[in-house]
Chain A
Amino acid sequence: MTPANENRTIPVPDALARFSRSWKSAALALAVGMIMLLVLPRVLDDFSLVQATVYAVMAILALSLGFVWGFGGILCFGQSAFFGLGAYAYAIAVTNMGDSTVPFVLAIVVPAAFAAVLGYLIFYGRLSDVYMGVITLTVTLILFNLINSTAGPEWKIGNAPLGGFNGIPNIAPLNTPGNVDDVIGPRGLFELSLGALLGVYLLLRLLLACKVGRVIVASKENEQRLLLLGYDSRLYKLFTFVLGAAIAGLSGCLFANWGAFTSPTVFGLAQSAQIIIWVIVGGLGTLVGPVIGCVAIQWLTTQIGTQQTINSNLVLGAILVVFVLMVPKGIVPTVGGLGVKLLGAARRKPEVSGDKRGVAQDDHHNATRKEAT
């Protein structure tokens, strides 16, 4: 049978969409990351390297929400809760245990387990998306208040005082498994953080390419159809939520290492809002976007912080408004789209006539090549 209207062009994805979903883009992102991993420790001074480390740590957090929200369609206001749980789990466990191996694992497992319980109630209770936002936000604030009110000496887990609003200072850094004396230095922490960022990125790209990832994206597209096909969408959403929490926990662990300190502000409203801003500014529905959004905003915040004239929160608020109104897709899709247009214009110039035919042939060529693979 022939399609209804043969003259109508087939609405295939544009060059940018094809590129962003191909392995070429993953290879490019990883290559850039690897170069930074090798070059930055050699060219940056210690202060800048420590700065770059916190960018990488926060970028992991941004990536976790970029995945949960941008691909799973779950707008989680509580990503900072999992981040904070990761930081606290590490701090408390390492103070008690000395060796950092198990605390490192706990920093990932504890937030994931917490998300599993919370997510089970939300998804298996079939609560709507609005309640998803309300519940995650509320849980974050409850954690904030809970940890905030643990100032007295009676509040401790094992040997680790929780410290209330003062937080937990002097957190022992990560060490080589089994060797408590061989602790990580600033350079090592940078490499570990950036390496973890690249690892998480690769993991998510691989996941999105296989069945589970495709079902996760499909559940965002049309949950009803997914159910009719026989997929239990609750399970896939829960998995997305738990994986996002585990990644945020990893980020929290690295954050506790970075400053050797953690306080209840990691659970705060400001922190939760900031992650959402990173994702919106960088580009929802991409993985590179949240990373770029996170680094750009943090860099800007630091720059504004060095002067006294304007309040940095005002500027951040203004940026968010400008982006939502004028660059709704975010930096990465917008810049990428411009790049593709420029490339296309440059390529088209040599052959003004037969332009369309050339493109059509190119498409046909692509199609046949894809068939072959």
Chain B
Amino acid sequence: MTTPLLETRKLNVRFGGVHATRDIDFTLAEAELRCVIGPNGAGKSTFFKLLTGQVKPTSGEILFRGRDITAMQPHEPGRFGIGIKTQVPSLFNGLSVWENVWLAARRVSTPMQTERVTREVLERVGMLSHREAITGLLAHGERQWVELAVVIAADPPLILLDEPAAGMSDAEVARTAELILEINRRHALVVVEHDMSFIRRIAKKVTVLHQGAIIREDTPECIMGDPFIKQIYLGKKPH
């Protein structure tokens, strides 16, 4: 068996009395695209924070390409090749769009390459015309694209996307799905989403989190047909 890109073993986090994740065993192959769903408070964001070193696990281990990265410093996930697009775009607001993407590209590229990569990536997400704009003054949707560009520019083997389609129009959602499939040709992705039609469009396999634990792992069709999952999502439109 080949080494998976990402593997977590019995990952647990407790914040005081709250058991945020319970014994998470998660495996992701190279270039796989996985969706993670679950109601609010299921532990999705905590799971992403664990993978990016922002939260330390109480117990368990995280392996990236077979290497134990559990005890990493906050800047090391980015070095190992894990990129994240957060739910609320996290960007250098006072800097221009170009500088935001440039900083991401520059860490992994030579100065000459950086200029080219920055231009290419901005073109890919359709923000090249906004390259001189001050990032903090852009609309929410535009900031989503810029953050996506920042993540792609660093060229990590694994990209985590936290609700990439939130707050987007239908046309934008369709474009985002297209872009994610395009990114997936070169990068593995883990996507947290609520929108089931969006998930059906991009994912072959879905992981369901509930109360901090993984309860199902299956195709989107089977997941959507599961009455228990419908029940825990009650109150949310399963589309």
Contact = CB atoms under 8 A, between A and B. Distances in A.
Nearest to B93: A221
Interface of B: 52, 54, 73-79, 83-84, 90-96, 99, 102-104, 106-108, 111, 125-127, 129-130, 132-134, 137-139, 141-142, 145, 150, 154, 169, 172, 175, 179
A215 B79 CA distance: 15
B138 to A, nearest CB: 7
Nearest to A233: B75
Interface in A196-237: 211, 214-215, 217-218, 221-222, 224-233
A178 interface: no
Interface residues of A, number: 29
Given A11-B133, A218-B95, A228 B78 contact: yes
Given A214-B103, A230-B75, A231-B78, A10 B133 contact: yes
A68 to B, nearest CB: 17
A11 B137 contact: yes
B78 A229 contact: yes
Contacts of B129: 3, 10
A4 interface: yes
A1 interface: yes
Nearest to A2: B126
Given A221-B94, A225-B91, A230-B79, A4 B106 contact: no
9 contacts: A1-B145, A4-B172, A5-B139, A215-B103, A218-B99, A222-B90, A222-B92, A230-B108, A231-B107
Given A11-B134, A13-B132, A227 B93 contact: no
A193 B134 CA distance: 37
A5 B75 CA distance: 35
Contact of A12 (B52, B107, B132): B132
Contacts of A222: 90-93
Given A5-B139, A229-B78, A218 B125 contact: no
A369 interface: no
Interface in A1-44: 1-5, 8, 10-13
B125 to A, nearest CB: 7
Contact of B125 (A1, A4, A214): A1
B121 to A, nearest CB: 13
Given A1-B175, A5-B139, A231 B75 contact: yes
Contacts of B52: 228
Interface string A129-162: 0000000000000000000000000000000000
Contacts of B93: 221-222
A211 B129 CA distance: 23
Nearest to B126: A1
A11 B93 CA distance: 12
A238 B108 CA distance: 22
Contacts of A218: 92, 95, 99, 103
B106 A211 contact: yes
A232 B142 contact: no
B102 A214 contact: yes
A221 B93 CA distance: 7
